Every structure is written in structure tokens, then in C-alpha cells.
Amino acid sequence: MTAAKEPDEERSPLAGACVLVVLGGVVVAVAFAIDEAAGVLFVIVSGTAALWRSARRRVSDSSATPPPQKGRPSCRECAGHELVSVTPLEGQKGMLIYKTAPPDRPAHTHIHLAPGEVNTP
């Protein structure tokens, strides 16, 4: 008699994470069993290495927001608005005040502050 093959089960990524946590716990337990100071030193060094690695990792560009259009700030509220004026902010150098008007509400003005430069002829 031959045993019927069971269908392949989907493996959960959580199962792999659990295995890694258990193995890491065993390594830490062995380090503490050897010597308490060695265990503390191992935890500090491995934590510092993990923090350093995560800080040095590059972020993919696929999740980055698109660059703003030239001459306009990027804001969800002012998308599709007509640009009314751009004036420099007197209190802070390099900041601009963008005033936009939505097409469906002509009496409303949206104000947006953003860094930038005013090109004067």
C-alpha cells in the first residue's frame, strides 16, 4: 500500500520568525550559561550591530512620494487648484506663501507655506 500524498501546505512567515526567535534565545541562554558578563556583552554587541544595520539600510524609492511640480508645493488639499499668488514670508527667509483657489469654491482661498525661492526679474 502506498500512502496518499498530502497537498503542500502554505508555510507562514510567522513560523520562520518563531524559529529565529527560539534560536536566538538559545544562543543568548548559552552565552549567559558560559558567563554572566559574556551574556551581557553578547546582548549589547548584537543589539548595537542590529541597530547599526537597520540604520544603514537604504529605503527603496518605490514608496517615495513624487517630486513636487516646479513652482508649486505638493499638498493633497491644493491638488487641482488654480495658483493665485506666491509671496515670500517676511518672518522667515526662504519660505513662501502659496495661495490657491479650488475650482468648485471660488470664494475660498487655500494657503500653503513651503520652502522655496522667488524668482524676480
List pLDDT tens digits, range 58-98.
766 665 555 555 555 556 666 777 778 878 877 777 778 87
Residue 65 lies in a domain: no
Give yes or no for residue 13 having a pLDDT over 90. Answer: no
**Is 4 part of any domain?**
no
DSSP state of 28: H
Domain count, the chain: 2
In a domain, 8, yes or no: no
CB-CB contact of 112 with 73 (8 Å): yes
From CA 97, how far away is CA 44, in angstroms rounded? 49
Q: Residue 63: inside a domain, yes or no?
A: no
Residue 121 pLDDT: 38
The span from the CA of 10 to the CA of 121, in Å, is 65
Residue 40 lies in a domain: yes
Contacts of 35 (CB under 8 A, 6+ apart): none
Domain that holds residue 25: 14-56
